[in-house]
Amino acid sequence: MPPTPTGRTTDDTKAPTAAPVPCRIVVCRDCCCGSPKVTGVDHAAQTERLRAAAPVRVSDCLDVCDQANVIVVLPSAEGRAAGARPVWLGLVNDPDATEDIAAWTRAGGPGVAPLPDILGLYAITPPRRRTAP
């Protein structure tokens, strides 16, 4: 089969398939997370380390400032199909925890790879969505 412009091979009898959607990461970087308020953390290095493992989106405040630095690991398409939900992690202020998150996302993340026990210590409950009165 010849490669397409995107590098994928095609079969004339089948529709081209899209690449699987990987696990993704959201890092909070606003008023508390990613700021000098959380001392001793190289926030830029943490974001880049996670970016080397999975796509990363930098978000404004995720409304859990008392848990800074907050990182949310979003399931891949495969994980979502298995029923996985985003995993919120708080107080991620240690390079070892960042490495554990990177390794877990490379392994597939929520719904694909089990949450490492050590990361269970960082798991937090996300804030409730605000609804209009």
Give CA 124 to chain center in angstroms. Answer: 14
Q: Report d(CA 101, CA 36) in Å as an integer.
A: 22
pLDDT in the model for residue 103:
96
Q: Report d(CA 86, CA 92) in Å as an integer.
A: 16
Nearest to residue 30, comparing CAs of 59, 55, 67? 59
| pLDDT, tens only, 73-87 | 999 999 999 999 999
Q: Tell me the pLDDT band of 36, cut-offs 50, 70 and 90.
A: confident
Find the helix packing angle between 95-107 and 43-53, rounded to 10°.
Answer: 20
Least confident of 4-13, 28-37, 97-106: 4-13
pLDDT in the model for residue 25:
97
Question: Global pTM?
Answer: 0.81
Q: Which residue has the higher pLDDT, 11 or 113?
A: 113
